[in-house]
Amino acid sequence: MKKKIFLVLGLMAAIMPPAAEDVAAAESVETCSTCAECTTELASGAFGTVVLDTDIVDHAGTCIDLSSGESNVVFDCNGHLIDGDELALESVRGVTLMHGSGVTIRNCAISDFDSGVFLVDSSGIEITANQIASNRIGIDLSHADSNLVDGNTVRGNSTGIKISDSDNNTFSDNLVCDNFPWDFYFASGTGNVGIDNTCDSTSYWNDVGTTGCTFSCVVFQCGFESGNLGDWSSVIE
């Protein structure tokens, strides 16, 4: 009899709709104006989307620090800038995601940090439509599995995208150019897939079906000069 009761309770839990407060949080939108305010709102679990409503310039230290397993939230910079103080030391990042899942970082312009976006021990993260420039590493994945890095412009960093000890990630439609010495630096991992990326200098990185990236930066720079690539002026050089 007890087994039947537990089975019925289990089935009821499986088909019950999410609580009203959970639905409200997922659909709610909040704005923020500073690194501390954005970090607090993203970590609170009270909002589905947090939108940056102004540029942040010359910030000292890591700006967005999500190191406590935050999940299921969108950080949308709405095209605004997150800028460091140009004296960034190691471990000072524009955005840090640690032990997280289901987080989206989009529409951010990030510059002058040790790492623009640092992803560690996280999964199900989407890094999309960002412009990342003038950092030591643009996007840095370490022990990060099953994430999506899509549609970003990563230029003028020492290393554009770095992948180490990370598995089953997808990198698609990224423009990764003018990073020296490496646009893509692949250190270790398995099952990572590159699709239709643009770059020139790679270390052990190949898109599907080709050597290096699918497209060359030279071709796209010509298009950029003629106004076909969108606006890069929002990132401070």
**Prediction pTM value:** 0.84
Tell me, what CATH number does 51's domain have? 2.160.20.10
Asked whether residue 23 is domain-assigned, the answer is: no
Instruction: Quote the domain boundaries for residue 72.
Output: 28-220
Asked whether residue 119 is domain-assigned, the answer is: yes
Asked whether residue 226 is domain-assigned, the answer is: no
- CA-to-CA distance for 141 and 147, rounded, in angstroms? 9
Residue 18: cis peptide before it, omega within 30 degrees of 0:
no
Sheet strand arrangement including 49-52: 29-32, 49-52, 71-76, 101-106, 126-128, 148-150, 170-172, 193-195
Asked whether residue 21 is domain-assigned, the answer is: no
Amino acid letter for position 9: L
Asked if 212 and 199 count as a contact pair (C-beta separation under 8 A), the reply is yes
- CA-to-CA distance for 26 and 8, rounded, in angstroms? 28
Asked whether residue 101 is domain-assigned, the answer is: yes
How many other β-carbons are positioned within 10 Å of the β-carbon of residue 10? 9
One pLDDT digit (tens) per residue for the chain, 237 residues = 544 433 444 544 555 566 555 556 668 999 999 999 999 999 999 999 999 999 999 999 999 999 999 999 999 999 999 999 877 677 899 999 999 999 999 999 999 999 999 999 999 999 999 999 999 999 999 999 999 999 999 999 999 999 999 999 999 999 999 999 999 999 999 999 999 999 999 999 999 999 999 999 986 554 443 333 344 443 444
Q: Report the number of distinct structural domains present in the chain.
A: 1
- CA-to-CA distance for 135 and 94, rounded, in angstroms? 9
Six-digit token pair at 234? 């929002």
Asked whether residue 6 is domain-assigned, the answer is: no
Asked whether residue 91 is domain-assigned, the answer is: yes
Asked whether residue 17 is domain-assigned, the answer is: no
Distant-in-sequence, close-in-space partners of 143: CB < 8 Å, separation ≥ 6: 120, 121, 164, 165, 166
